Chains A and B, each alone.
Chain A
Amino acid sequence: MTVVLNLCSNIGATILGLLSSIGAITAFAGQSVAHIFKGPFFIKNLFRQFIDIGYYSLPVVGMTALFTGMVLALQSYTGFTRFNAEGAVAGVVVLSITRELAPVLAGLMVAGRVGASIAAEIGTMRVTEQIDALTTLSVNPYKYLIVPRLVAGTLMLPILVLIGDLIGVYGGYIVSIHMLNFSVGGYISQTLNTLQAIDVISGLIKAAVFGFLVTLMGCYHGFNSGRGAQGVGAATTNAVVSSSIMILIFNYVLTQVFFS
């Protein structure tokens, strides 16, 4: 009996905790976004984040897209031969990549790479009182630390995903042409015939949302980091886990919005 009660109270406490953190995150997001539109702007910090979040994520996003495109061609080919539907390979590759896999996988990779490093960096600044020091030097930490990261994440992820789209489709193309003996002209025309603007655009909008979420979670958990190395460690884990889960949830919601 007490076990059941304990379990219930644990579940209740978890749900209450979740609701209150959703509230806190929403408030944090609102405050951060309000600071995006009011100066002073820290352009140098923004450019540093463009490089950190955008440029340095290129290799990992590119590799992910390349191998995903390749395996997609292989899998759909071996699967579709059972239905004599090999002709659909090009279409399946391009739609899966642009609509789903490039944004979601890029989002998850960036969550691991960028979300973690943002949480660790800002968390360390919190723990070592650097954020307090910013305030005493009349610089608003939201404008100096949070805004550049949010803006860079939201703008850079669509660019990364667009590049990922190209690389992923190219990965499928290489496998199809060189291993599965598709004809070059046929594969390309099938790809282009299947693809519509909305497929790419929806993927890029998803990417922007994911970029915002990843940087938001990194900033939020870092900014509210507990004390000491342990606090920063927990902040980093929470940032990666929560942004990954939010990417998956928002991916479903956005897909529903775009395609139903």
Chain B
Amino acid sequence: MSKLVVKSLTRRFGGLVAVDNLDFELGNGEIVGIIGPNGAGKTTLINLISGICMPTSGSILFDDKDITLTPAHIRSRMGIGRTFQLIHPLENLSLIENIMTGFLFSQGENKKKARLRAEDLCALMNLTDTGREISQLNILEMKKMEIAHALATGPSILFLDEVMAGLNSDETKEIIKIAKKIASSHNMAIGVVEHVMGVIKELTERVIVLDSGKLIAKGVYEEVSKDPKVITAYLGGAA
């Protein structure tokens, strides 16, 4: 049984079709790569699934329930978590308080419990000095906070939108390690959007490829990367 089923999902922005009649499934505990050139519609797909943006047509099922019209905060409580490609930390809250919000509102913990669990999560992510203001964090810490914030909502599926972007290779390795740890310990399904193909190869079991909002290929990375359609899409995107 699939955890998440996306059926003929379409989202238009004026004349532009950002996600075009897309079908996509995510199984329990599986890690899937979502790749495609810039503007392919990857972030829009995550926005649609997390309820930040509503589809023009099509439907989304989560645990067999139709959530197409469910508001974002309810989806977060149901177990759909996500990070943001452009990180917008809550700048008037400290590092730990940012992470606490997920425990407080998605998981309905009280303040004390939320703080304890957020501290545990920080320890897992190797985030220290958790009372710091956001302005004092470096980029790696910001990315870790972004992941921790998503984890704090208690997701059973998690979308990571280019969390490695802007990190060096050591930092990337650290995040990959964390992602693997999370996936195995929580039996969480993860959708990974990433431009660095090394990360996709290392982390995911299969990939889907989007181009201009359409799904153009799916399967294991090694095969998909040889698909002529995929090669043209990337070359076309680069040209």
Answer whether A and B are interacting partners.
no
